Amino acid sequence: MFKFLKPQVSVVLLLTSFFCSSASIAQPSGNQAAGNQAAGNQATGNKATGNQATGNQATGNQAAGAQAVGALAKPWLNLGRAATPAEVKAWDIDVRSDFVGLPKGSGSVAKGEEVWEAKCASCHGTFGESNEVFTPIVGGTSKKDIETGLVANLARPDFPQRTTMMKLSTVSTLWDYINRAMPWNAPKSLKVDEVYAVTAYILHLAEVLPSDFSLNDQNIAEVQKRIPNRSGKVKFIGLWDLKAKPDVQGELCMSNCKVSAEVASILPEFARNAHGNIAEQNRFVGASRGVDTTKPPLKEPLKVAIASGIADSPKLAVAAPKTPLALAKEQNCLACHGVDQKMVGPGFREVAVRYKGNIKAEATLITKISQGGSGNWGQIPMPAQPQLGSEDVKTLARWILEGAK
């Protein structure tokens, strides 16, 4: 939200600050780039020399254009139009940490609970504790944290998860994000008072506010003083300002460097195929191939293994991905399911219609396909499909939910 200050005309000098660049000087591009030289290089199209080869992406275009019309004219200044007050109001919804932009309103914990049950709990759990769809909102903070302003559990490497309330340091952020982006599938549908109410309810679940509290634009600054992690953030300008010094620097040693070069960490073998078969994720020509991760690591070099025709030589298939329909046919899904209509089981598109807008649809369907089920579409059970790989199940589930096209 824009806090109104007396406007000032700024002078952004696009072209007045000329800078002499040479091929050997590294030069960040920008307004101050050397227009003349850049324009020259681009015009001659000489790729091997000057800016392009050495890292200067100079702003040739703008400079060249300006030269043609006169450097001070800026004949584009009249482009665009004035925004109307109503338009600014419609879009300028951000709320700053000093609460500039926060609209007047109020909402109680009790009202928040109602809204929560109706619109939030399906993803976040009744008590904001659910870990099913998103990371839990509430948990991990203590009464002590509310006093200190620092969440003690954040310093514990063994603490399993970082909840929203553990990380939250500015209450304005919570209000702003609920207002702009929630509920997940219908953002910006909550009324202002509902946003206050849901914010109050979350803070109540986190034991920051009592159950009879009503949050409003007047008391929110006081509430900020109770946010458990309000002092938990630091601004490190080494990763913000290019002029500031970095905190970690490497070494330039070239020979006999003091390193142990011992392998300290490697993917455990049970996770070998967790990202799917890597053979199918690499090009099948070139100096290397993806290894077949459906099998244990190679026992012999590839050349030897292939030449001797041993059984576990890597199968480096072309692996043309199957279309979901082909997969469904191959897996005999179509024996029981029509694409449109119910046969033994429901038609795929009937399934899509039933689950439309259901956030858990994919996960539900994945379970139904791999583990089977009954009672949802009739009494004939759907058998489990243990032969299907997890990627294939996911492909099928997504395809079905997208209307089996």
Question: CB 381 → other proteins: shortest distance, Å?
Answer: 28
Residues with Cβ within 8 Å of residue 302, at least 6 apart in sequence: 289, 313, 314
Contacts 24+ apart (CB under 8 A), 218-227: 220/99, 220/102, 220/171, 220/172, 220/175, 221/99, 223/171, 224/170, 224/171, 224/172, 226/146, 227/146, 227/149, 227/168, 227/169, 227/170, 227/171
Question: CB 130 → other proteins: shortest distance, Å?
Answer: 11
| Nearest CB to other proteins, comparing residues 59 and 108 | 59
Q: Which helix (H) or strand (E) holds 108?
A: strand 106-108
| Nearest CB to other proteins, comparing residues 66 and 400 | 66
Question: CB 264 → other proteins: shortest distance, Å?
Answer: 4
| Nearest CB to other proteins, comparing residues 45 and 210 | 45
CA–CA dist 80, 4 (Å, integer) = 21
Task: Tell me how far apart the 2 most distant CA atoms of the chain are, in Å.
Answer: 82
Residues with Cβ within 8 Å of residue 278, at least 6 apart in sequence: 290, 291, 292, 293
Question: CB 336 → other proteins: shortest distance, Å?
Answer: 27
Question: CB 110 → other proteins: shortest distance, Å?
Answer: 26
Question: CB 298 → other proteins: shortest distance, Å?
Answer: 4
Residues with Cβ within 8 Å of residue 377, at least 6 apart in sequence: 342, 345, 346
What the block records as the tokens of 107 is 């909402």
| Nearest CB to other proteins, comparing residues 223 and 336 | 223
What the block records as the tokens of 279 is 């053979």
Contacts 24+ apart (CB under 8 A), 21-27: 21/51, 21/56, 21/58, 23/49, 23/50, 23/51, 23/53, 23/54, 24/54, 25/56, 26/54, 26/55, 26/56, 27/55, 27/56, 27/58
Question: CB 268 → other proteins: shortest distance, Å?
Answer: 9
| Nearest CB to other proteins, comparing residues 271 and 344 | 271
Question: CB 374 → other proteins: shortest distance, Å?
Answer: 27
Residues with Cβ within 8 Å of residue 317, at least 6 apart in sequence: 279, 280, 284
| Nearest CB to other proteins, comparing residues 308 and 387 | 308
| Nearest CB to other proteins, comparing residues 20 and 257 | 257
| Nearest CB to other proteins, comparing residues 11 and 375 | 11
Question: CB 162 → other proteins: shortest distance, Å?
Answer: 7
| Nearest CB to other proteins, comparing residues 132 and 340 | 132
